[in-house]
């Protein structure tokens, strides 16, 4: 009877021990390499991961890399004919990671079964021989069983005591009392540690066959975190020939790239749900990216991708807009491969790119020549009518006066893009005879078109503008039973050159109202303010000061924006006067 009771007790003890023991966690897992990446200027990238991955005991591929894709763009696949991908699961799981022991406690945990000499704290303490038996711990299963249901996986909690076998028996010692230990034989320097990680499990159906050791699988997804920023060097020879070099700066904040093929895209397709993360990412894993990827950042505006909205704005305009609102073989860098056009996007393909997460890389992707010519332009914006000036406070009047006072004749180069490559919006450094002339903003120009690149203000061409009211006609017209008067105005622009040679100047004058006539063969037209915002010198269809005044409801019925353009051949020392007239209605 006594033997039976002992046997039952032994069995219960064994069962309890088995229940308390945590199942073996996954070992640290291999990561699927990136094979190809398509990079857009706005910071989005389309990544292809592919490779032969180890399979676990259940026949599945488990990865410890969890992407953060845009919703609807996550597409896993299996290219192994023996295994069909049935599902993908993202979850937080326990992983065993080998860690170097950095503290005495960790060395004790790593060397269960080792023979040691132990020295404890206290006066007259004498080292004694012992064998490390165990460090008691509560397993994750035990902790989960004691917690509320569905509280999630928990890590094993180690105690602060160690069990030592000595000549006198098993001694329980607090870790804090042990001053040092001496190993009498070999010992381990590392120990496996449990960690909770977000894992991606690709569940494979082996079609009734035994699972193989590896499977060929992959992932496709779109994610923000890799960006390329173009910049140009334009070397002019003074005779109409420009050597243009396109250089790319790539910023990587997603994953390590090792000998991948990168496609750098000019233009950005529509990503309808780019602000929404796919639930597969487990939202808490979203990384904080640097300012290079923030849409509200200055760089986001300066290198905008939408081709239809790329406008020729000066750097001053850019700043004004924002105010209102880092014995192996030598690495020779990536190799530029073929380029091609796909739909409305132009793609530069670059092979053998290696760039670790957090690194930046600069490399040349295209070199070509094109014709250019020097051009001089004068752009004079319109001012508010006098009736509006009177309703604006003094500080804003002074600001407006500074903005509109004495526009400068600008020296630019006009590039004629006859190459096979489009020019994209980017900073451009202009040089001649190995000297820097300026840095400007290159704007988009498709092959066969042209674009202007600003150099500097031409200080040797003087401009003087004079506008005057010529008459007022009371009750000039009637609208919905109300009388409206007309204000007639006339203006002149006088240009004088102090250069040694004759120059051709393109002059543009915008007026608020209705342009009537222009002298000196000037071309007049009314501007569609909703389709042609070039006159506004800002982000919207109207100048930023437009909102300073509450415009009457009838204003746009009578008035618009007029434009007068001239092309003037200006000889040295011979002033030329350009005249024009316009009107607007008021009540």
Return the domain boundaries, the chain.
102-188, 224-370, 460-586
CA distance 278 to 232: 36
Instruction: Report, as ranges of residue numbers, the positions in the chain whose pLDDT lies below 50.
Output: 1-23, 296-330, 343
Question: In 111-170, which ranges are continuous DSSP H helix?
Answer: 140-146
pLDDT for res 5: 39
pLDDT for res 122: 87
pLDDT for res 535: 62
The answer to whether residues 377 and 409 touch, using CB atoms and an 8 Å cutoff, is: yes
Number of other CB atoms surrounding residue 264 within 10 Å: 24
pLDDT for res 9: 38
- Bridge partners (DSSP) of residue 255 are none
- For 192, the token pair is 């496996």
pLDDT for res 284: 54
Model confidence over 1-41: pLDDT tens digits? 444 433 433 333 333 333 334 445 676 677 899 999 999 99
pLDDT for res 538: 54
Name every residue whose Cβ is closer than 8 Å to that of residue 505 and which is 6 or more positions away in sequence: 376, 377, 378, 409, 461, 495, 567, 568, 570
Task: Phi first, then psi: give them for residue 517, nearest 5 degrees.
Answer: -155, 160
The answer to whether residues 585 and 387 touch, using CB atoms and an 8 Å cutoff, is: no
Q: Enter the pTM of the model.
A: 0.76
Model confidence over 320-373: pLDDT tens digits? 333 343 444 445 556 665 556 554 678 999 999 999 999 999 999 999 999 999
Architecture of domain 102-188: Roll (2.30)
pLDDT for res 22: 45
pLDDT for res 301: 35
CA distance 7 to 13: 10
């Amino acid at each position: 009877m006594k033997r039976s009771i002992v046997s039952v007790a032994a069995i219960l003890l064994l069962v309890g021990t088995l229940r308390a023991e945590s199942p073996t966690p996954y070992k640290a897992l291999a990561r699927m390499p990136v094979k190809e990446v398509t990079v857009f200027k706005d910071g989005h990238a389309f990544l292809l991961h592919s490779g032969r991955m180890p399979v676990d005991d259940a026949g599945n591929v488990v990865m410890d890399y969890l992407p953060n894709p845009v919703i609807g763009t996550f597409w896993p696949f299996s290219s192994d004919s023996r295994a069909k991908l049935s599902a993908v699961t993202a979850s937080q799981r326990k992983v065993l990671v080998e860690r170097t022991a950095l503290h005495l406690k960790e060395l004790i945990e790593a060397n269960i079964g080792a023979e040691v000499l132990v020295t404890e704290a206290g006066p007259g303490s004498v080292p004694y021989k012992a064998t490390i038996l165990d460090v008691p711990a509560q397993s994750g299963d035990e902790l989960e069983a004691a917690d509320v249901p569905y509280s999630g996986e928990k890590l094993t909690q180690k105690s602060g005591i160690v069990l030592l076998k000595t000549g006198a028996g098993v001694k329980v010692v607090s870790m804090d009392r042990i001053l040092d230990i001496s190993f009498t034989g070999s010992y381990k320097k590392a120990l496996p540690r449990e960690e909770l990680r977000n894992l991606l499990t690709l569940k494979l159906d082996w079609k009734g066959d035994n699972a193989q050791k590896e499977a060929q699988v992959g992932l496709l997804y779109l994610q923000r975190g890799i960006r390329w920023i173009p910049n140009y060097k334009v070397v002019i020879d003074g005779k109409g020939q420009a050597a243009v070099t396109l250089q790319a700066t790539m910023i990587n904040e997603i994953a390590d790239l090792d000998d991948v093929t990168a496609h750098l895209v000019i233009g950005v397709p529509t990503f309808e749900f780019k602000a929404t993360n796919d639930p597969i990412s487990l939202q808490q894993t979203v990384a904080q990216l640097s300012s290079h990827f923030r849409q509200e950042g200055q760089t986001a505006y300066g290198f905008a991708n939408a081709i239809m909205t790329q406008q020729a704005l000066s750097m001053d305009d850019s700043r004004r807009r924002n105010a209102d609102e880092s014995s192996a073989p030598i690495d020779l860098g990536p190799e530029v491969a073929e380029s091609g056009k796909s739909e409305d996007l132009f793609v530069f393909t670059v092979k053998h790119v290696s760039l670790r997460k957090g690194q930046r890389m600069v490399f040349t992707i295209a070199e070509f020549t094109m014709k250019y010519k020097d051009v001089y332009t004068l752009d004079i914006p319109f001012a508010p009518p006098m009736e509006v000036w009177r309703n604006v406070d003094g500080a804003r009047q002074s600001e407006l006066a500074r903005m509109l006072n004495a526009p400068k004749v600008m020296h630019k180069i006009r590039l004629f893009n006859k190459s096979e490559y489009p020019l994209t919006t980017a900073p451009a450094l202009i040089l001649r005879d190995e000297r820097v002339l300026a840095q400007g903003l290159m704007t988009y120009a498709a092959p066969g078109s042209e674009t202007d690149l600003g150099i500097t203000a031409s200080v040797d061409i003087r401009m003087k503008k004079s506008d005057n009211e010529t008459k007022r006609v009371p009750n000039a017209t009637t609208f919905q039973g109300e009388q409206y008067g007309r204000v007639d105005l006339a203006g002149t622009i006088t240009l004088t050159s102090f250069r040694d040679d004759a120059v051709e100047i393109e002059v543009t004058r915008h007026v608020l109202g209705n342009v009537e006539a222009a002298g000196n063969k000037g071309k007049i037209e009314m501007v569609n303010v909703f389709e042609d915002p070039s006159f506004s010198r800002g982000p919207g269809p109207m100048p930023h000061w437009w909102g300073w005044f509450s415009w009457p409801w009838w204003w746009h019925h009578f008035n618009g924006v007029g434009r007068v353009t001239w092309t003037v051949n200006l000889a040295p020392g011979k002033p030329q006067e350009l005249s024009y007239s316009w009107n607007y209605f008021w009540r």
